[in-house]
Every structure is written in C-alpha cells, then in structure tokens.
Structure 1
Amino acid sequence: MTDLPFEQFPPLSAIRICRHAFTQRIPGIDVSDDKPEVLKRLSAAHREIRNEMGIADWPLVTAQQIHGNKIAVVDNCSRGPVSREFAGCDGLITNQRGIALGVYVADCCAVYIVDPKTPAIGLVHSGRKGTELGVVTNAITEMISRFGSEAANMIVQFSPCIRPPHYEIDFGAEIVRQCRTLGVKEIHDAGVCTACDLDRYYSYRAEKGKTGRMLALIALNPLAD
C-alpha cells in the first residue's frame, strides 16, 4: 500500500467504471505564496498521486474556478495537450474515457458526480458563491442534456469542505437540497471539515489565504481490450 497523502471515497471506489482521488496536505512544501506558485510547488506530488492512480499520462483537464456556475463539456476534441484549463468555468463534465477531470479546493467542496449507466462523470468546485449560483445544478442538468443521463441513476459524493462553526453557513446542505430537487437519490458526504484538521487538509479560511490546495480527480476507465 502507498503512503502518498490522498484519500478515496468508498461509494466511488465501488463503481468499477471510474477511478478517483482527493489529495491531502503535502508535507514539507511551503504554501505561503500566491496560488499559481503554490500549485507549481505541489505539482510534482500531485503527479505522483496521479501515477499511483494509473492516470499520470492521461490528459488532465481543469477549470479556472472563478466562483461562478459555468460548466465545461469535455469532449474528444479537448484531448489535445496533456493538460488544459477551461477558462471561466467551475465545473467539468465528460463521457470520454481516459481523460482526468480535476478541481482544486481549500475549503470549497469538490462535488463528484457519476452516472454509471451512461456512463458519464462530472466534477464541480462549489463554495458559497457557486452554490448560491447553482453550479452543481448546472452540471447535473448539462449531463442530462448532453449525455442523456438520468438524475436518479447518479451517485454524488462531497469532498471534505469547511463547515460551521468555522464558516457562517453550511453550503453543503444547500447542495444536497439542489441535488434532491433534481431527483438525485444517492448522495454521500465525507462529513469532514477542512478547517478542523490542518494536519491533513489545507484551509483558506483558517490559514488566512496563505495555503495550498487539495486536488480532486476523477476519470472514466478505458474499455478493456
């Protein structure tokens, strides 16, 4: 077994069509700088975790993350370079196999969405603002529209995120309500507060903006030869 700092969620691990991870705090890396520099310092460790997952050589697609509600549809034309960031977006959806979706968080929630029947996946960055703007709702409705997914077939998993009393509101509860309204039946919450465990997670609020980022990852497995 590996000692690399990442975790996986049992409900997603049980779905054989995809693989996923949620990175944790990386020991020994100075994260008291601006976000671009911090992500550069974390990139080698994150790549090592992607290698452990068996996806280090797959295209990695990320979102710019502006606390908005736009969703990028990652199709076959998006493969291009090994890494690509979709500007102006906070969520990613795809039905393409062998492409990794990634979002960075440090208190906001990474919301994993899996439709095992179509199959299709989504990954969303949703904090207070994004939740108010319905970013997860948009991702689910886009999966329905673009891929023919059904909300009742979807499995939704929340990453660790900030929660009361360390934050004024419980935006996770609102995401649950939005998912239920759309007809999602299976919703799982890690139930962990990032600000409560700084040995394990980064927290933008608790560390006053000078911190790292956890990387949420999900990808559809290629079809067996």
Structure 2
Amino acid sequence: MSARAGELAKALEFFPALNEIAFVRHAFVARIPGIDVATDRAAALARLEAAHRALRAELGLGEKSFATAEQVHGDKIAVIDSAASAQHCFKGADGLITDQPGVSLGIYVADCCAVYLVDPVRRCLGLVHSGKKGTELATVEKAIQGLQENFGSAPRDLIVQLSPCIRPPHYEIDFASEIVRQARRAGVEQVHDGGLCTASDLARYYSYRAEKARTGRMLALLALRD
C-alpha cells in the first residue's frame, strides 16, 4: 500500500454490527486529509471524487455499479432491481434499496444521518439519507416498508445502523434518537447507534453547520458481496 493509500485508509470507519454479516461490505468514509473542501457541495464532491473512488476500489467495490441518490431531503426510496440500472444518481430519491450483488450503494452526508439497513435473511439492503426533514417524513420507515414490499423482508430480521451525525448541543433537535424510535416502531429489533456527533469532531468529520455550509461530505457505502 502506498503512503497516500495508507492516509486515505485512515478515513475508513466500520460498524461492529455490520462487520458480523459475512455477505455484506460496508464503510463510512470520514474526512479525507489534505483536500481543501471549503467550497460549495458540488465543488467539494468533485475534489473528493478521486479519493472516494480509490477507497471504493480498496474495499472491493470498484467493479460494482455505483448508485447514489439526489438527496433532496424527501422520502422517495429508489428500488434497484438490476445492476445495469444502478450506475447513476437517482433523481428525487433520499434512499436506495436493492438485492443485487453487483451494486454498491452510496449516500453523502455532512451532519445528516446515513442509515444502513441489512436483511441477513433475504439478503437485501438499503441506505438512507435522513436529517431533520427526512426524519420528519419518516424516510427510514418508508425504506423498511420498501424492503418488505419488494424483497419480502420482515422488520424483525433487519439490522439498522446509524452513522455519525449532528446532535445536541450542536443542533436544536436530536433526530438520531427519532430515527431509532421510528425503526423500532416499524418492528426492527436490532438498531445500533454509536452516538457520535459530526460537529463535535471537525478533525474527523465534515459538518455543514459548524463549517457554515462550506465543507466536504462523508460517504456511506453498502453492498452485497459477490
């Protein structure tokens, strides 16, 4: 591994609850060192693209179709039922669900929560962008419903993992705790949240609020192994 690759790898975080699932690959890409992202979202993502692409390859996801969502703070869930349809950004969507092993799901966040959903029984999964507005719209519950309707998931079988996100006192509401409540209300028994706040650790995470909207984006990644 090159020195630069080693530096990039330091940005990778993994969740113990998802590490236990042998057929799933996942990661949460935190702040990338050495890249100036003090700009708008589009420019910041363009500057991060090469590093994110290299990390996807390092994780064994480089050959998979990469699906992302437009992330409009809504509640639309895109259903990906073929790898061929996945290589693009799904307009109007804030969540992605699939049962296709040839697909890697990606969600960008910088204070909002990336919510990972995995069904170890039906071997399907989802990734959701949920901040204040998305949580008010119960977007995670809609993704759970989508897994039920499209892939036959039973909520009791699902494993749900929350990413680091902004929390009080750096934000006026605790939408992470509401996401947990919504998942449990939908019937999920295994809900995991490490409780980390993005605005509390700017050396590790990007924060839209703390950095006055001029910052980068973390990248949540989730895929089925081939």
TM-score range, shorter chain: over 0.9
* Secondary structure at 1:37 match in 2: helix
Structure 2 equivalent of residue 140 of structure 1: 144
Q: Distance in 2 between matches of 1:164 and 1:79?
A: 41
After TM superposition, where is structure 1 displaced by more than 3 Å over at least 4 residues in a row?
none
Question: Could you tell me which of 71, 79, 97 is aligned with 2:84?
Answer: 79
Give per-residue Cα distances to partners, 1:29-81, cap 9 Å, x unaligned: 111122111111101111111111111121100000000000000111x5257
Q: Distance in 1 between matches of 2:154 and 2:137?
A: 22
* Secondary structure at 1:79 match in 2: helix
Question: Could you tell me which of 21, 28, 32 is aligned with 2:34?
Answer: 28
TM-fit CA distance, 1:26: 0.8
Q: Distance in 2 between matches of 1:182 and 1:86?
A: 25
Q: Distance in 2 between matches of 1:218 and 1:170?
A: 25
Q: Distance in 2 between matches of 1:88 and 1:10?
A: 31
Instruction: Name structure 1 gaps, 5 residues minimum.
Output: none
Structure 2 equivalent of residue 152 of structure 1: 156
Aligned sequence identity (%): 58
Question: Could you tell me which of 43, 47, 50 is aligned with 1:41?
Answer: 47
Q: Distance in 2 between matches of 1:60 and 1:201?
A: 23
Q: TM-score of the superposition, structure 2-length normalised? A: 0.95
Question: Could you tell me which of 130, 134, 157 is aligned with 1:130?
Answer: 134
* Secondary structure at 1:141 match in 2: helix
* Secondary structure at 1:160 match in 2: coil
Aligned residues: 220
Q: Distance in 1 between matches of 2:224 and 2:47?
A: 27
Instruction: Name structure 2 gaps, 5 residues minimum.
Output: none
Structure 1 equivalent of residue 174 of structure 2: 170
Q: Distance in 1 between matches of 2:195 and 2:177?
A: 11
| 1:172-191 to 2 correspondences below 5 Å | 172-191=176-195
Higher alpha-carbon deviation: 124-133 or 28-37: 28-37
Amino acid at match of 1:40: A
TM-fit CA distance, 1:98: 2.1
Q: Distance in 2 between matches of 1:121 and 1:96?
A: 9
Structure 2 equivalent of residue 111 of structure 1: 115
Amino acid at match of 2:84: R
Q: Distance in 2 between matches of 1:184 and 1:138?
A: 13
TM-fit CA distance, 1:190: 2.0
Q: TM-score of the superposition, structure 1-length normalised? A: 0.95
Tell me if 1:97 matches 2:108: no
* Secondary structure at 2:88 match in 1: strand
Q: Distance in 2 between matches of 1:33 and 1:194?
A: 18
Amino acid at match of 1:79: A
